[in-house]
Amino acid sequence: MTTLVWFRQDLRTSDNPALHEAANKGPVLPVFILDEPDQSGEDHPLGGASRWWLHHSLAALKRNLPGLVFLRGNARYLIPHLARQTGVSAVHWNRCYEPHAIERDRDIKSALKEEGFEVKSFKASLLYEPWELETRAGGPFKVYSPFWKTARQREIDAPLSAPRELEFLKFDEGEELENLKLLPHSPNWAADWQDLWQPGEEGAEKRLRSFLKDGLDGYGELRNRPDRPNISRLSPHLHCGDISPGKVWHETRRRMSQDGALAGDGMKFLSELAWREFSYHLLYHFPHLPSDNWRPAFDAYPWREAGDDLRRWQMGQTGYPIVDAGMRELWRTGYMHNRVRMVAASFLIKHLRLDWRHGEAWFRDTLVDADLASNSASWQWVAGSGADAAPYFRIFNPITQGRKFDPDGIYVRRWVPELEKLGNAHLFAPFDTPPEVLERAGITLGETYPHPLVDHASARQAALEGYEAVKQAG
């Protein structure tokens, strides 16, 4: 039997059930289609950083699967057309869970079945199908802890190996990868990213190995420290499917059983992986999560107009060093540490009182791990408008957060070098620093580093006043 395998967010050969089963049955036609945004119906199109990652991840996949075909256009048309044109008998894919993808795949599946093709879809991007887990009362989870308590008892299938031998169906009409035009140009802001990241299956496996060897020990506590290397940085790999969550799960378990002292850190890491699952669970059951407040009472919040404040937040020019460090790390590397994501997002929503959707859109464009489920669930978590969200009135203080989680100022000095000579006591609040200390550090506020966009105490007060409208609406 000849099978068309449609690759989407599963850009790997190992633990890829759609490919694995097809390879066991006979020749394979592996295909990737870049769905054009205007045709795919996707109202949250791929951001620039994600496009960069996708290009390199596809290049890596092509090295492992030389028969891989690239196409651009509307998958609803192209998949059935290609199946007919090449005479395959079956079409396989691994499931995606974004609302537009679910609808698209459903349509394609029924069109193919009507024409007599065998169609099979598989679970490969998540540990648990979003419809598999439900509360005792029946229905979706809205709170993370009981979700995790239920999820952690489930067995996770052992990962599949990559097919040993593959026979490719010949097809000469594909595009060159370069013609998908995924890479940035004029300016090429990602010019040095290949020194930072290795998209693709090999890069993902290397990263997992090095994290389990050197980063897992202490993860539980040190994962909050942006100055420390105790995080996996697997998120962009997981998003593109360079590696499966099942493989991450089993390799982590294996490491935990090799070294009993890692049990606590290992469980913490797996519980973070489960936040990704919870985000998909929410997106599946509440498909408006990326665009609408999950708690409608937040529709009443009096957001300010975005204007110049949004631009200064994006550029890392807010005058709050921990926020600026995070925003600059994001711009320069396509990544921001989770703790700093929370502080920077909270600053946008609560200090500047700008709608979380502005932040979601900026992160979607600039993060290499931009992911519709995790990004929208996390933004709504910070905003207080989401499921199981941080209460709105808990407002991060960017000064104390900086002192607590970057105690030696290593992270801030790396990304905000104009503050390099300021001592730790003043580093997180240059605006509260005596003029002679600033002068000795070579800093002139308003010239070498910005004045703060807002005063913390009065911004906090204004945010709480705005929240009154939500309380009344709720």
Q: Which two tokens stand for residue 140?
A: 């979706």
Helix (H, G, I), strand (E, B) or coil at 445: strand
Intra-chain end-to-end CA distance of the chain, in Å: 58
Q: Which two tokens stand for residue 207?
A: 């990263």
CB atoms within 10 A of CB 195: 7
Give the Cα separation of 159 and 269 in Å (integer): 19
Q: How far is the CB of 13 from ligand FAD (least distance, A)?
A: 21
Q: How far is the CB of 359 from ligand FAD (least distance, A)?
A: 7
Going by C-alpha positions, the residue among 393, 421, 423 that lies closest to residue 408 is 423
Give the Cα separation of 43 and 67 in Å (integer): 31
Cα dihedral 105, 108, 112, 115, rounded to 10, equals 150
Alpha helix (H) residue ranges in 319-371? 321-333, 338-346, 356-366
Going by C-alpha positions, the residue among 359, 372, 279 that lies closest to residue 326 is 359
Going by C-alpha positions, the residue among 376, 380, 372 that lies closest to residue 9 is 372
Q: Which two tokens stand for residue 125?
A: 């991007």
HEC readout, 18-56? HHHHHHHHCCEEEEEEECCHHHHCCCCCCCHHHHHHHHH
CB 280 within 8 A of CB 130: yes
Q: Which residues are annotated binding-site positions for FAD?
A: 219, 269, 369-371
Give the Cα separation of 198 and 333 in Å (integer): 13
Q: How far is the CB of 346 from ligand FAD (least distance, A)?
A: 9
Q: How far is the CB of 66 from ligand FAD (least distance, A)?
A: 29
Q: How far is the CB of 378 from ligand FAD (least distance, A)?
A: 3
The residues binding ligand FAD (CB under 6 A) are 223, 231-235, 238-239, 272-273, 275-276, 279, 338, 341-342, 345, 363, 367, 369-371, 374-375, 378-379, 382
Give the Cα separation of 259 and 272 in Å (integer): 20
CB atoms within 10 A of CB 63: 12
Q: How far is the CB of 226 from ligand FAD (least distance, A)?
A: 10
Q: How far is the CB of 214 from ligand FAD (least distance, A)?
A: 13
Give the Cα separation of 252 and 265 in Å (integer): 10
Q: CB nearer to ligand FAD: give 238 or 412.
A: 238
Q: How far is the CB of 390 from ligand FAD (least distance, A)?
A: 10
CB 267 within 8 A of CB 261: no
Torsions phi, psi of 89, nearest 5?
A: -100, -20
Q: How far is the CB of 235 from ligand FAD (least distance, A)?
A: 3
Q: How far is the CB of 276 from ligand FAD (least distance, A)?
A: 4
**Residues whose CB falls within 8 Å of the CB of residue 260, separated by 6 or more in sequence, listed in order:** none
Give the Cα separation of 203 and 233 in Å (integer): 11
To which H or E segment does residue 331 belong? helix 321-333
Q: CB nearer to ligand FAD: give 58 or 127.
A: 127
To which H or E segment does residue 237 belong? helix 235-240
Q: Which residues are annotated binding-site positions?
A: 219, 269, 369-371
Residue 123 burial (10 A CB sphere; 0-12, 13-18, 19+) = middle
Q: How far is the CB of 210 from ligand FAD (least distance, A)?
A: 12
Alpha helix (H) residue ranges in 115-180? 144-151
